[in-house]
Every structure is written in C-alpha cells, then in structure tokens.
Structure 1
Amino acid sequence: MKAIPVAEAVGMVLGHDITRIIPGKEKGPAFRKGHIIREEEIPDFLSMGKENIFVFDMTPGMIHEDAAAGRLARAAAGQGIRLSEPAEGRVNLIAETNGLLKIDVDALKQINSIGQIAFSTLHSCQSVQAGQTVAGTRVVPLTIDEKEIIEAEKTCAAVFPLIQVKAFKSCRVGVVTTGSEVYHGRIKDGFGPVVERKFKTLGSRVIRQILVSDDRQMTVNAIHELIEDGAEMIMVTGGMSVDPDDQTPASIRAAGGRVINYGAPIFPGAMFMLATIGDIPVAGLPGCVMYYKTSIFDLVIPRLLAGEPVTRDDIAAMGHGGLCAGCDVCRYPLCGFGKD
C-alpha cells in the first residue's frame, strides 16, 4: 500500500476501513477496505479529516474483486438472469422470471478449480421464482491475477450459458381421472384439484377434466378427446399400480403413446409413466402425487414446461437423491430430493 492525497485517489482501491464518528449518534465504517474511490466521495473523506489515505498499489495484471466478480457473472449468465451490483466483492445472479434453473455443473466445477474463484449456485433443474437469488460469485482475495478470470471466462464461453432460467410456457393441460369409484360417484375426486393447483403454480391451466371408469377404451377415448380440445399436455391420474383393474399404462399405449419410461427410481413416484403422442407429453400419475406435497410430478413436469426433453436416462439419474425424507415440514426444493 501507499499513502497519497485523497484528491488524487479517484479510481483507486482503499487499503483500510475509514470510520465515521458522530458523537452520540454513530460510530462505524463509512468506507470499507477494498472500496473503489469515486470523485463525489472526496468531500466525505475530507469531512472526516482524511486528507491522505492508504490505497492499494495495483500491479499490472491484477484486478479488483468487484471488477472480477462482475466479469465472472457476465460471462456465466444466460437468459432469464439479471445481475446485482457488486457488494463487498460479490455479485449475485437473480432470476428474472419464474422458470427452470439450469446449471452446467461440470463447467461450474472447472471454474471453482481454477484458483481463488468462488462461484456458488442452487441445484440445477429446480423451479425458481422471479427475484430469487440463484447464484453468487466472487474472488477470495481483494485483488486477483487477471489470468484466472480470463481462464474462467473461456470456460464459460465454451459452454455458454453456464447458468440460465428457462421460463415456463403457459400450457393447456387435459386431465383424465380413472377409477370406477370416482366415475360412479361413490367417492369424491381428490386428484383433479391437486393437479390443477400444481399447474396453476407453474403458470399453466387445466382446460378440462374427464372422469372414466377402469376401462381401457374409455380412457383412450378421453385422451383423444382432450387432444382434439387443444390440450398440449395430458395427465392421466390413478390406475398406475399392478392391480388387474389398473388400466392406465395399457390405455396410454393403446392411445398411441410412445413410452419413454414406465417406472421411476423415485419415492414417492415409482409407478410413474411418461410417454408422448406426437409432440404432446402424456404422463401417468400414481396416487402419491395426490397424497404427498412433493413427488415425481415436481421433478419431471417443470422440465417439460420449460421445453426440456426428459429422457429415460434423465429419469434413471433421478435415483440419486430420489428418496424423499418425509420431513414434517416440506422445504422442497431446498432439500436433496431429486438432486442428481
């Protein structure tokens, strides 16, 4: 560090905290170590008796933590992300929209292995809300060799974007509810309201629900009817177990469904089916979706609404983290459920 007149310090990095004392009212740091001095702040320094201050003697090739964090954040951020102003060397990445958070996890690990860089994110493939902080980045020292930042920028450029929020599309959803007990009015349907509420939270709406008995042809007809009505996604609820009268998997196939996967390494949600009829996703939802706050629905459906393909391998990978802990108070997605 070196001492210079404060009037000559504009644009330089403050080397120590500057304390402001107002007797009986205030005592604390007015400017912190690492602050970049601005011209309009000179009168404040002088009013505190600081005609000379210590600043960092920045050697060529070194950059300040605020500038470094800003460059890292800009290099990493894709669609659906805005950046905060630097604060004590850190820049936050904030969701601009409700959507699916996507992180290139391998590239993130590479960046955090470069040197004195810290880049932290939420888990990938979870639903996030507009205004939510989804990542933050900074460097460890007050100043850092620019070569490390350039290396990180190159890593980001190779995979761009490192981090993004893919907005959910508003989807018209059709629901087929199977079960003779509901169809004949012996019990009240509890599945439809749950599915409707979940889709509303994700920005989509259920356009129609059709009740059918445990009959394959009735279910096939209902699926086709909903597609004719303009449904862009079909949920078939119930009838997903191995009981002889559970016809949902066979009905989805009979309706022309190309099955991506039947069965998932997810508890709750093992009896889930995902298929497509043309380009329309069709999901067979097991009963757990109605009874559990968080289930296979919350892992797969948001990806589909964000336009992400969900493959057999994707579902297989969900086994790591796919065991819900059944907490008394569900805090999903701030937990390990579904985090592969």
Structure 2
Amino acid sequence: MKFGPVSPKEAIGGVAVHAIRQSGVVLKKGTLITGADAEALVHAGVKEIVVARLEANDVSEDEAASGVAQMIAGEGIHVEKAFTGRCNLFAARPGILMVDRKAVDELNRVDESITFATLPAFKAVTEGEMIATVKLIPFGIDRAVYDKAVDAAHQRRIDVVPFTVKRVGVVSTMLPGLAPKVIDKTVQVTKERLARAGAEVIAERRVQHTEPALREAVKELVDLGSELVLIFGASAIADRRDIIPLAVENVGGKVEHFGMPVDPGNLLLVGRIGKVPVIGAPGCARSPKENGFDWVLMRLLANLKMTREEITAMGVGGLLMEVIQRPHPRVPEPDVIETDVTAIILAAGRSTRMGGPNKLLEKIDGKPLVRIVAEQALASRAESVVVVTGHQHERIEEALCGLDVGFVHNPDFAEGLATSLKAGIKAVPSSSGAALVCLGDMPLVDSKVLDRLIESFAPEKDGLIAIPVAEGRRGNPVLWSRRLFKELLTLEGDIGARHIIMKHNELVVEVPTTGVGVFLDVDTPEALADALKHR
C-alpha cells in the first residue's frame, strides 16, 4: 500500500488518511477521493493531502476485517457488515462465550495491522450483545498477511454455547430469625436469573436447617426431574462437614469443590448427584447483583463442567466488589446529583427514508417536529436539554431559535446513530446523574411521559434504566443512569443500546403508558401522516 502526502490532483483514487476542514470544504477520513473532491480541495487552497492507495496485492480494510471475523466466528455468532475497517461480532443467541486465549493471542501476533478483541471468556451473553471486534489499523494490508491472519483465525474459533438446562429445583432451609419474605425475595431473584437463560424453577421446597430434612428435599427435587438443584442455606456453609455438604453426600452425591476465589461468592459449594449438578449457594446469591454464584450458575445452565479445576481458575478477575449497581462506587463523584436528569435530543440524522426533506423540519400545527420535541423536553422535569445536531445543523439550530437548549454538533453523524448518542452523553453536565435520550422525530411523546420516566428513575433501588411500555411493548425515550454512561460510550456504528438493556434487564424500570406516541417515529411520509392523525 502506498502512503504519503500528494497534491490534490495526484490524490484522485486514493483514500484520505485524515479529515480536512478548510474554507468550507469538509473531507472525511476514509473518503475515496474523486476528481470533484480534488477540484474542491484546490479551490480551498489545500496544497497537499495525505492519502493511502491500495496496490494490486492489497486487501482493503473492510474486506480484511470481514474475512478474519467470518473465519473466527463459530456457533451462535452473527457477524455484522464491516465498516471503516471494523467488523463487530454479536451473540446470535443467549449463552456462554467460549474463547481460547491462545487463539486470540495468536491472531493478534500475526501482524500489528490486525487486532482482535473479545469479552471475557465464559461470560454469559444475551442475544444481540456485542462479543468481539476485528479492527484493521491501516486502510489495507498485503494479501500474504491477510492469508496468514485468516489461517490463524481458522485454526481456532470462538463460540456462544447455548443454555440447555431448563428445569431447576430450589430448596431453602429455615432457622428462627430468617423472615419468610427473605426467602420469597431469594426465590424471585433466582427466577429472574434463570429467566435470562431460558430456565425455570419447576419445584421449590422450604425445610428446617437440618441434614435429614434437607436430604429428603434434595432427593425429592432430583426425583421430580430437576436438571440442576440450588440450595440456599439459612446459615452459610462453614465446612465440608456442615449440613449442606453432608446432605449432598448422604443422598448419594459427591461434593466436587467447596469455596471459590471470587468475592462476593467465596462460600459456594458445587456437587453432583448422579448427572444432576448441585450448587450450595453463598449468601450473596440472595442479591440480584453480580457475584460468583452467577459465574457458576450460568456455566452449569449451559451444561459446561464445573469442577475444582474450573473454579480455582477464577481468581484473576474474581474481585467483583465494584459492580454497576453499587450506590457508592470506589471512585466517588461528589458533584453528581444522582436524581438530576439531562434530556438529550438526537437530531443529527440524514432522513434518508423520507425521500429528500429533513424530517425534523417537517411541521405539525405549524411547528417543526424537532421544536415540538424540544418544547416538551423543556416542559418536563429535566434540569437541562442538549440537542445533538449533524445533518443540516444550521437549519436545526434555526428551528430551535429562542429555546433554552444547548447544542453539540456531531461531525461524524453519517457514521451512525451511536456517534450521536455518544456525543450527547459526553455533553451531559457533570452534575447530572442521568440522561433521558429522546429522538427528534417522535413528536407525540409529551412532557407527561418524560416526567413519569424521570419519576420512575430509582438509583437507590437499582432502577437505573427507565423505559416506557404500552401494550407489552417497550418504546422510546429511554432514561439512563450515569453509571451506564461508560457502556453507552462503547457503542459503534448505526446500532442503538438494545443489547445493553438486555444485558442489564434487572436494572430496568418499565413505565406504563398509553397510545402510540412512544413507538411512532417519523421516518417516512406515511409516518408523518400517522402523526398528524394522532396529534
């Protein structure tokens, strides 16, 4: 690949290495330079531009990224179309991500031009969750390097192993002082955990905290066809000779390991009765927050082995003290008022489905759609309103003239929705504890809906995402706690945050609404007519 500075006329057919903004000319990085581009550059006074030009034996960045990704993607993985040298891989089903560390290292050592990153091995993933990405550093690579990378990718693949265990038995032991509502909550939290893997509790038993009572309950659950048995003790397991391990052994089972190098989760026991695995749950398993119990439970739901060797290998990365739901993170943010909300209005799109006009400037009752959305945001309990602009940003700002909103321009709006969302998140004042992400083409969402979302935001109760729901469907806008901003800032391309919502479903507060307003976005002339009808 040729690389270096040339005159604008010599640059024709090459790819712009850097963005250029000069005298009204805007040339994005990665643009294939045409004759018209060259003339515009000359007219703007640009004397020299750095370009990359593929040679006969080169493979383009998108072709290379896609080829490597397709080769390494195994079962249960969907590969997205490559864009600007990046190809993302997503889980095509819920399950456990299986990654061979040697495979990743081998691929990354082929050449510095090719990078491959994944989520942690054995992570439980949801359908649609981004699990890996291939990124080409230059605009193209030599075919020999590409062939070597493809060969390395072919040797070892990554997979999403599906959850196959569906029938789970639960037994809780009781002691004086343990309130029944504690057990009720434990069972509910457990059902929610299992639901993420498509499993369910087929039977639940509550018995006294004695070995004979527990032994009989466990035996009954196995006889009922449980494929996995969970034991929640009224008192934590203190020794292999304690009640829970003794009950497992006395029913004909085997304790495979007690204790794990994951905190929270140290006092976990794994055993087996015939082919049925058993977990003696640690106390932290009563909480919905991630702990070592989740790691073991999800692997067993995917029918993966969980022996002493697998458990003792969990120490690196096993310190889980800082989890997203914790109200007091290790690094405090003293100036944040957690209940203060900033409304973000995404108004950067190109309106390609409208067939020409900028949809945000279409009018209802004499007002542009984007102004209607902004006025409703200003009428809500949001502390401030930020509008993200891009396409025709001057006209959008003109349409909002006189309104007390802030603007942030997204020069990369053509690269997809994620760029605008990230621009908005970065513009949220440091004092705000949450962002209410509104779409500029949804004029039927009024301030009352926005206020209900803001009122439902409950960070002290782990309600970190608020979503409107009508007739069983989730709509927009969505309110996000600041604790999730880092994840939102990892989004790429033209995808929203649906997989982040799915990943943190236990943090979602569903806010009941009525009507079509939270679903109707004006993307087409027909949708505009529908909006006019419902206004």
Report the TM range for the smaller structure's normalisation: 0.7 to 0.9
- Go from structure 1 to structure 2 and tell me whether the alpha carbon gap of 1:188 and 1:58 turns closer, same or farther (over 3 Å shift): closer
SS at match of 1:196: helix
- Which secondary structure state, in structure 2, belongs to the residue aligned with residue 324 of structure 1? coil
2:220 alignment counterpart: 225
Residue in structure 1 matched with residue 509 of structure 2 by the alignment? none
* Paired residues for 1:1-340 under 5 Å: 14=15, 28-29=26-27, 32-33=29-30, 35=32, 58-116=54-112, 117-159=114-156, 161=157, 163-169=158-164, 171-181=166-176, 189=183, 190-238=185-233, 239-242=235-238, 246-291=242-287, 293-327=289-323, 328-329=326-327
Find the aligned partners of 1:201 and 1:19 in 2 and give their Cα distance: 47
Residues 52 and 139, structure 2, Cα contact 8 Å, conserved in 1: no
The CA deviation string for residues 290-320 of structure 1, in whole angstroms up to 9 with x for no partner, is 1461212111111111222122111101122
| Partner AA of 1:121 in structure 2 | T
Look up the SS of the partner of 1:181 in the other structure.
Answer: coil
Greater mean deviation of Cα atoms: 322-331 or 196-205: 322-331
Q: Quick one: higher RCO (CA 8 Å, sep 6+), 1 or 2?
A: 1
1:102-138 superposed Cα distances (whole Å, 9 cap, x missing partner) = 2111111121122121111111111122222111112
Against the structure 1 CA distance between its residues 102 and 13, is the aligned structure 2 distance closer, same or farther, given a 3 Å change threshold?
farther
1:60 CA displacement: 3.7
Q: Distance in 2 between matches of 1:59 and 1:114?
A: 21
For residues 27 and 222 of structure 1, do their structure 2 counterparts lie closer, same or farther at Cα, with a shift above 3 Å needed? farther
Q: Distance between the aligned counterparts of 1:317 and 1:281, measured in 2?
A: 19
Change (3 A) 1:56 1:227: same
For 1:307 and 1:279, the matched residues in 2 are separated by 11
2: distance between equivalents of 1:244 and 1:133?
Answer: 40
Deviation readout 1:152-200 (Å, 9 max, x if unpaired) = 22222222x1x222222251110011123389x7775243222222112
CA distance in 1: counterparts of 2:240 and 2:137, whole angstroms? 62
Give the count of matched residue pairs: 314
The alpha-carbon distance between structure 1 residues 186 and 113, as it changes in their structure 2 partners (threshold 3 A), is closer
Q: Which residue does the alignment assign to 1:338? A: none
Q: Who is 1:337 aligned against?
A: none
Contact preservation (8 Å) 1:20, 1:48: no
Where structure 2 has 5 or more consecutive residues not aligned to the other structure, the ranges are 41-49, 330-482, 488-535
Name the TM-score, length of structure 2 as normaliser.
Answer: 0.52
Q: Deviations over 1:258-296 (max 9, x none)?
A: 222111122222221111112111111122211461212
CA distance in 1, matches of 2:237, 2:87: 49
Q: Percent identity?
A: 29
The superposition leaves residues 62-111 of structure 1 with CA deviations (integer Å, 9 ceiling, x where unpaired) of 21111111111011111111112121111111111222112111111121
Structure-1 separation of matches of 2:308 and 2:250:
20
Once residues 143 and 275 of structure 2 are traced to their aligned partners in structure 1, the CA distance between those partners, rounded to angstroms, is 48
Letter in 1 for 2:127: A
CA distance in 2, matches of 1:170, 1:307: 7
Equivalent residue of 2:176, what SS? helix
- In 2, the alpha carbon distance for the partners of 1:232 and 1:212 equals 20
Change (3 A) 1:48 1:188: same
User: 2: CA distance between counterparts of 1:197 and 1:280?
Assistant: 21
2:294 corresponds to which letter in structure 1?
A: D
Letter in 1 for 2:304: E
Secondary structure of 1:74's counterpart equals helix
Distance 1:305 1:92 in 2: 26
Q: CA deviation at 1:242?
A: 2.4
Instruction: Return the alpha-carbon distance in structure 2 between the equivalents of residues 16 and 195 of structure 1.
Output: 52
Which amino acid is the alignment partner of residue 216 of structure 2? N
1:214–1:246 Cα contact (<8 Å) kept: no
Runs of 5+ consecutive residues of structure 1 not aligned to the other structure: 335-340
- Alpha-carbon separation, structure 2, partners of 1:110 and 1:47: 41
